[in-house]
Amino acid sequence: MNRRDFHKLSFGAAAATMLPSANLFAEPANTVAANDGHKFSVMLWTMDRTLSFEQKLQRVAEAGYTGAEVGNEYEKWTPAEWKTALAAKDKYGITIDSAVPGRNALSDHSKRDALTEDIKKAIPGAKQLGCNQFIYTAYTRVPSQTPEQRRDAIVDTLKYAADLCAKDDIEIVLEPIDWLEYKQEAVPSVADAFEITRLVGNPKVKVLYDFYHEQKQAGNLIEKLTKNVDQVGLVHIADVPGRHEPGTGEVFYTNIYKELARLKYDRYICMEFTPSAGHEWVPTLRKAREEAIAAMKQA
């Protein structure tokens, strides 16, 4: 299950399965150095669901990426599936940079036991994958809470969650989800999320700045990035509308990439889009990465 399943969304037809090229990995191009010092990742839920984990990593690496993000599907893997997954991760040189432990209403303290269980279940597999970051959305609002009570409750929950993850050195990133996608979301904008993480005051609690969600919710993407980059632990990339590759919608990603470079952002840049009609996965992902690198060189 992935984080979009957590919000009960259904996604349309997946992109067609693509055969690997004959010269796949003939050159060790899948390195941070090949990406001009930047780290690029792909959220695996966006890929064709008929593909195995190994096949997804193969395509991610063929497109020149060094990272991949998962949900919590690894919690259900058999020993044989684990063996295959870890071998694929090593074979293709992929870092699992983030995972999604579960869906919890962070402002609802009555759900604390469920949160605890989700995190404790997620940690062993994350450690085996070498993953040191968990993605959380705040999920559903508690109707009786004032905005201030909601904020304070989420701050308290994130402090608690960070303490649970501390001994395993796992970071938490809070991801806002726009109200057009989920109208009951407790944290719909990065403006709210940045306030929350500053109040948490723990360097292991950051914000996932998803430009797709923020454009739908509030816009003004670059100013909020510039003023709060110290709180950003991860960025997600997709265009609006449609959640397709950059260049298909209204977000001018060239300027966003230039600002990320100017700010010396050194964490993962994760592609979380589905290719537009008629476009295949590997070339579309490769083009998105190359365009990002070219833009950042202009900074």
Looking at residue 32, its pLDDT comes to: 58
Looking at residue 284, its pLDDT comes to: 98
Contacts 24+ apart (CB under 8 A), 277-281: 279/15, 279/245, 280/15, 280/16, 280/18, 281/15, 281/18, 281/47, 281/48, 281/59, 281/63
Per residue of the chain (299 residues), give pLDDT as tens. 444 544 433 333 333 333 333 333 333 344 556 688 999 999 999 999 999 999 999 999 999 999 999 999 999 999 999 999 999 999 999 999 999 999 999 999 999 999 999 999 999 999 999 999 999 999 999 999 999 999 999 999 999 999 999 999 999 999 999 999 999 999 999 999 999 999 999 999 999 999 999 999 999 999 999 999 999 999 999 999 999 999 999 999 999 999 999 999 999 999 999 999 989 999 999 999 999 999 999 99
Looking at residue 35, its pLDDT comes to: 87
Active site residue 175: yes
Looking at residue 281, its pLDDT comes to: 96
pTM of the predicted structure, to 2 decimals: 0.90
Helices (H) and strands (E) in the chain, counts: 10, 8
Q: How far is CA 145 from the centre of its chain?
A: 28
Domain ranges, ordered by start, for the chain: 3-297
Q: What angle do CA 92, 69, 1 make, to 5 degrees?
A: 120
Longest dimension (CA), the chain: 59
Q: Which entry of 62, 69, 73, 175 is annotated as an active-site residue?
A: 175
User: Are 224 and 194 in contact, with CB atoms under 8 Å apart?
Assistant: yes
Q: What is the CATH number of domain 3-297?
A: 3.20.20.150
DSSP 17: P
Looking at residue 31, its pLDDT comes to: 54
Q: Which entry of 171, 214, 245, 272 is annotated as an active-site residue?
A: 272
DSSP 189: S
